[in-house]
Structure 1
Amino acid sequence: MVSGGTITTSATSVSGLAAQISYNRKILGLVGTTGSIGYVADSYGGAWGGKFYYSYGYSISNSSGFSADFMTIKNTDPETLFKVSDFKGFGNSFTAGFGSGFSWGGSSPVQAHNGVNLLSKQEWGRYPGGYSTFGFSYGLTKERPAFGISLSRTQTRFVSDIPKDWR
């Protein structure tokens, strides 16, 4: 997918990539927390013109553990390409698999639900600047049950936005 320093040039195909290490922890029954750190790139800056990010939020899941995740990102507007700056904000994802799995996700325009059906992946990313994701997740920890399933809601921020005196 990466060729000559660019990811793609077509607005109808994948125009971004992300790789992350994530965790999911059950706290009470199926409800828990989730978080990740990763790197996202777009077709404008190429593979090395992206940004480091971190995400945090809540999840509904039957398992806990760490995973390595790799995602393709596509703008939901076929007339535009995904930009790294679009990645900041709120999003939803659904992951399922046996040790390794697949994930589907997308951005959400606001923090509050405001009529957005968080369980309907058809609504994820359906606004200006919105995007959808599809990826592969590899479980780094072994826990029972072997089959894991998770629905999560997160907020993503860029590491570069952290005030310098906090780093």
Structure 2
Amino acid sequence: PPPEEPYPWLWRCHRCLILYRVSCTRRCLECNHEFCRMSGSSLGVKTKKHRRSSAGPCRSEFDYTAWAAWGAFRRTTAIAAATATSDITAKAPSKASSYVPADSSSTAAYDGGSLDGGSDTTIAMAWEPVAGSEAARVERAKEKMYVRDEHNCWTHCDFPAECRHAVYRACIQ
């Protein structure tokens, strides 16, 4: 069974305090303010009617843990589908290799369709979160892939700009 569905990425306008999904709009429909991350980055009409709070940038919430679990499940399902379509009956891959494909071709069989086994070629796999030591190994493998620029953001990144953050951390170390 898949992990619980992650919460959507939300942001709150710092002018009028209305909550929106980032996937729906980056502009406040009440005061016309655009989603900002840094204070003072927005230009707009300042009226007392709409300006309730001006402290700092717009706040946003992203469910990193749940999206990482969902990404791992999605990659595991894609590998199972690729294995089923190529009729390979070899030994099952280790957990680390199932969470981080060695190349993008192993996930090519996933076409973005249903993950609940709607296709005849998918294999229903029980998803389990990885243990701490295994998670560290997966993290190192993903970091190497990001640094070498051998990744596909759609397939391998669990949250926006994960690859950029990993490359930045690697450069600092």
Task: State the TM-score bracket (shorter-chain normalisation).
Answer: under 0.3
Q: Using structure 2 for the length normalisation, give the TM-score.
A: 0.24
Which structure features the higher share of helix residues?
2
- Decide which structure has the larger Cα Rg and report it: 2
State the structure with bigger RCO (CA 8 A, min sep 6), 1 or 2.
1
Q: Using structure 1 for the length normalisation, give the TM-score.
A: 0.24
Which structure features the higher share of strand residues?
1
